[in-house]
Structure 1
Amino acid sequence: MEDRREPPGGFKTLICEEDLHDEEHPPRHQSNWHYVSMFTVSNGRWYRLAAVSLALLAAVLLILDIGLGVHYNKLTDTHLTLDDTKRISKELADLQDTYKAAVETMKDARKQLDSETSRQTQTNWELEYQTKRSNDYKSQIETITKEIETMRSHLPMISDGCKHCPAGWILMNSVCYYFPLKSDQVKNWKESRDFCQLQGGDLIIINSQDKENFTVNFLINHKSKSSMGFWIGLSDLHEEGTWKWWDGTFLNEGYWLDGEPNDFHGEDCAAVYPIENFFKAWNDAECGRRMKWICEKALTTMS
């Protein structure tokens, strides 16, 4: 059979029309011409594709060239010179020096703070010590003041030639007082006055806050737990509602219990009670009621 294989590489052999007539087998004329025309069409398309490809390649190369140019310009703009490198190195060295100086300053500040803290601690210790000394001095002053008051109460007795209080009486602020705490005796208000007058005195007159405080505290401190009151030299016997001391002076400041005096069933005489709040230690009572009493009198001169 006749060999119709195509030439290697995919290209067909170009055959002229004259050659086709000289061949021994002319019946193949139409068929070979068709073959030649197909080869011609395929070869033209290939040239067109190559031209398009070259055009695209040229465009890509142009774009790359433009891009490289822009990139080169950027590199040129940001390129560091030798002077820039030196300047940056100098700035870096300056920053390192500044950092070292800041570290040293911080260390010095820490040392100073530690020193101030130590001094502050010593100052606190000294303040605590001085505060304790001050409190000790205050305590000593209070003690000395009390001793001076006690000595002062004895001065009149010394200056007047050895004055004293009778047995059973106590001396306070140059006055003698009698508190029948250990006695079981009780008296009404008039009998109490009579007893005090026989001793050269009378019922106590409480005309100051200090005297009221002293009287009530003495009763409390000497174990007077009885709810019974102690007669004092105050009454409204001469004029209802007008309270006077036995020496005729009007009451200026009273230390009554809440709601007192209320003159309940003709309560015309006053008594003091051992109540912790000495501002509320008085009550009015019927003068005939029997209770304890408190006398006071001046110092007695020894013969």
Structure 2
Amino acid sequence: MSTTGGSLATEGFYSKLIDDEPVAYDYNHRSPDVGHRAHPVSPVKLNLGAKAPGPYRLATICLATLCVVLLISIIAVTAHYKSKPQGGGEATSELQKQKQGANMSDLIATISKLQQEKAQLQKEKDELLAKLDAKIATTAPQVVRPTVKVSTPTSKSTSTSTSTSTSSIVCPTGWHRFGNSCYFISSRERSTWSGSETRCQKKGGHLAIIHTAEEQTFIWDLLPRAYWNAFWFGITDEHAEDDWKWVDGTPVVGTFWEYGEPNNHNQEDCGYMIKTDVLTRVAIRSWYDAPCSMSLPFICEKEMVPSSSASMSH
């Protein structure tokens, strides 16, 4: 009786466990506490167990669909923002090109205008220089050198005065005649300004004194061309600044300075003449001032008379 009651109690407990579990029971596995038989599994619970994965499948499909929609949205937004700057960049680039083109046109127009103004100014400058050269050539003082009168005996024991004829003046070798003077251009000899004056005196002359544009041009044409060919001549202001005098003490009138000269840049108290390789340089703008201590070649001048031409020493 008690055994039967215990068996029924066990079966009731086992039935309760099956009712509480939602999964199917494995018939091949029995609890050792069950002695006689197993309670059959309810068909309803087995069917429910087979349909349990359905909600998870639906949730998975919904989640996958949501992911696809989200991915498509991200791609669309990214493509939109990528395309927008590119379009703006192209528009900005085109606008910059237009501005650069306009600026370039303005710059070309400005350059063309400046070139025209430069050409006009150069033309005006050339005209002014031509007028200045003509004025200098016409207003330069003409120095009349004194004529030497020579007395010649006559059969009547009287003397008559005759003018010296310039055609009878003959310059020594290495000297060049202009009017009543002969000029010497040193080629190998070089000295300071005062040393050059001493050398000219030993030759019977002095550093060249120039009064007219014709005389200046004649001497300048005798000079050889070089990179910077400079020659001392007889002009200085070492006794008083800007009070230029010739070696014979007479004031300088009708000068032929280069533009901007004399400038007394570094105690420049003596004058020299240049003739360079620059073909545009002209004779009547070839004077410069320089320190008297510089060693340069020089230009000597010797006044001539017929009576002394035969006995002239070199």
Tell me the TM-score normalised to structure 1 length: 0.44
* Structure whose CA Rg is larger: 1
What TM-score does the superposition give when structure 2 sets the normalisation length?
A: 0.42
Q: Which has the higher helix share?
A: 1
